[in-house]
Amino acid sequence: MSEKIDNPIIKLDSINSTNNYATNHLAKEGWVEGTIVITDFQFSGKGQSQNSWESEKGKNMLMSMVLYPDDIPAQYQFVVSKVVALGVFEVVSLFVEHVSIKWPNDIYVGDKKIAGILIENAIMGSKLMHSVAGIGLNVNQHVFLSDAPNPVSLSQLKGMEFDRDEVLSLLIQSIGKWYEMLKQKKFSEIDTAYRNRLYRLGVEAKYKDESGNFIGTIVGIDPIGQLMIEKSSGEVRSYFFKEVAFLG
């Protein structure tokens, strides 16, 4: 995939989920790397951990990009999440300040969530075969009805309507640029960029794990993508997704 905007784009009026559509068609139809599925509306948009993803018809970016990251061992698959999050981070940062990546791959503006990413990987043996990178970016929606705690959109933040085609072009360019770094195996640059953009990095805050609430400081991400938090006792623990909750 190059940085030029030449990704095949499949536009659907509505679909259950762009991730499902991509997963069901990519092999049968031999989709090329970088193929994108976008839609105006998802009947059952998927979020992380079996959650649903709310998006008002015709207002936001709902897209999935198909990637074939060769030679990435399955245990390091989190690097795909990193490059996609960095790409989305960069686009949101063109328009607003105080953007961060909330581990594992939510894009935040201040303490509000503007975008969610759902990466679905196919593993064969010990290697990553393909990734479907699903991105939901709130662009022009003003009223959110689900119980998602803290959604926000670009339009709410800037008081103007955004052109979704322009946002799509920017996302394709930016994700393409970071993905190219993955292809070139620039892992330490990717790791550093991701770490430096983490929500709450180096800031003391409240968390909850299986032993209860605690005060800790995010110190980084371990090689397999776990979140590392230093507790006030000085102990550093690594957590998989859902093993730790961010408290307000």
Residue numbers at the binding site for ligand BTN (CB under 6 A): 17-19, 42, 45-48, 51, 53, 62-64, 106, 116-118, 134-136
Instruction: Give 56 or 230: the residue with its C-beta nearer to ligand BTN.
Output: 56
Degrees, nearest 5: CA angle 226-230-234:
140
Q: How far is the CB of 6 from ligand BTN (least distance, A)?
A: 21
User: What is 32-69 written as a DSSP string?
Assistant: PTT-EEEEEEETT-B-GGG-B----TTTSEEEEEEE--
Q: How far is the CB of 209 from ligand BTN (least distance, A)?
A: 21
Q: How far is the CB of 69 from ligand BTN (least distance, A)?
A: 18
CA–CA dist 5, 7 (Å, integer)? 6
| Residues paired with 27 in a beta bridge | none
Instruction: Give 86 or 117: the residue with its C-beta nearer to ligand BTN.
Output: 117
Q: How far is the CB of 137 from ligand BTN (least distance, A)?
A: 8
Q: Is the Cβ–Cβ distance between 40 and 46 less than 8 Å?
A: no
Using DSSP's 3-state secondary structure scheme, residue 182 falls into helix
Instruction: Give 46 or 204: the residue with its C-beta nearer to ligand BTN.
Output: 46
Q: What is the number of the residue whose Cβ is closest to ligand BTN?
A: 116
Instruction: Give 120 or 230: the residue with its C-beta nearer to ligand BTN.
Output: 120
Residue (of 83, 81, 119, 115) closest to 100 by Cα position: 115
Tokens of 77: 């698959």
Instruction: Give 50 or 211: the residue with its C-beta nearer to ligand BTN.
Output: 50
Q: Is the Cβ–Cβ distance between 53 and 24 less than 8 Å?
A: no
Tokens of 179: 């993905």
Which DSSP state fits 161?
-
Instruction: Give 37 or 157: the residue with its C-beta nearer to ligand BTN.
Output: 37
Q: How far is the CB of 105 from ligand BTN (least distance, A)?
A: 8
Q: Is the Cβ–Cβ distance between 139 and 154 less than 8 Å?
A: yes
* Diameter of the chain measured on Cα atoms: 54
Q: Is the peptide bond before 151 cis (omega within 30 degrees of 0)?
A: no
Q: How far is the CB of 232 from ligand BTN (least distance, A)?
A: 29
Q: How far is the CB of 39 from ligand BTN (least distance, A)?
A: 8
Instruction: Give 53 or 194: the residue with its C-beta nearer to ligand BTN.
Output: 53
